[in-house]
Amino acid sequence: MLAKYIQEANTDYRRIRQRIPLGPLRTEADYNRAVSVLDEILDEIGQHETHPLADLAETLGLFIEAYEDAHVPYSDSSASEIVRSLMEEHALKQSDLPEIGSQGVVSEILSGKRDLNVRQITHLAARFGVSPAVFMPVPKKSSKRPSPRRRVAD
């Protein structure tokens, strides 16, 4: 009985893999395809974290993140520095980014007084043709070692 389920799962997985790069990304083409599919999924689900495709988006995001960790140079730049750099590269002014917010909101983002939200990151990634991960803060790794677990006597 289990063998039958595994065989069915194998068939379904192959069919899904033809449309969605659901697995380790080994080439830049795989990566670009995964980012494109993730963008389409995110357009579909919007802000609905309970959407049936939300788990698929998260899983695909993990494969993209793993590829980026291995192949994309790390930047110490903050989101505000990246936005400023992209604006300079494209000769844009604060008022040229109305999808982010008012000129005052853009100013607060550029000065580091305000963080980008998911909607703003989505718009910036689409406008500049980059992965949303470019604007995400990179968590600082703790230098503390976790303390060993101690068994409590009964």
Half-sphere exposure of 45 (CA within 13 A, CB side): 18
Give the residue from 120, 69, 75, 72 showing the smallest Cα distance to 99. Answer: 120
Q: Is residue 153 exposed (0-12), middle (13-18) or buried (19+ Cβ within 10 Å)?
A: exposed
Judged against a pLDDT cut of 60, whether residue 124 lies above it is answered with yes
pTM score of the predicted model: 0.50
Query: Is CATH 3.40.605.10 the classification given to domain 79-135?
Result: no
- Predicted local distance difference test score (pLDDT) of residue 76: 72
Domain extent listing, the chain: 2-71, 79-135
23 phi and psi, to 5 degrees?
165, 180
Reported residue count of the chain is 154
pLDDT tens for each residue of 97-109: 998 899 999 999 9
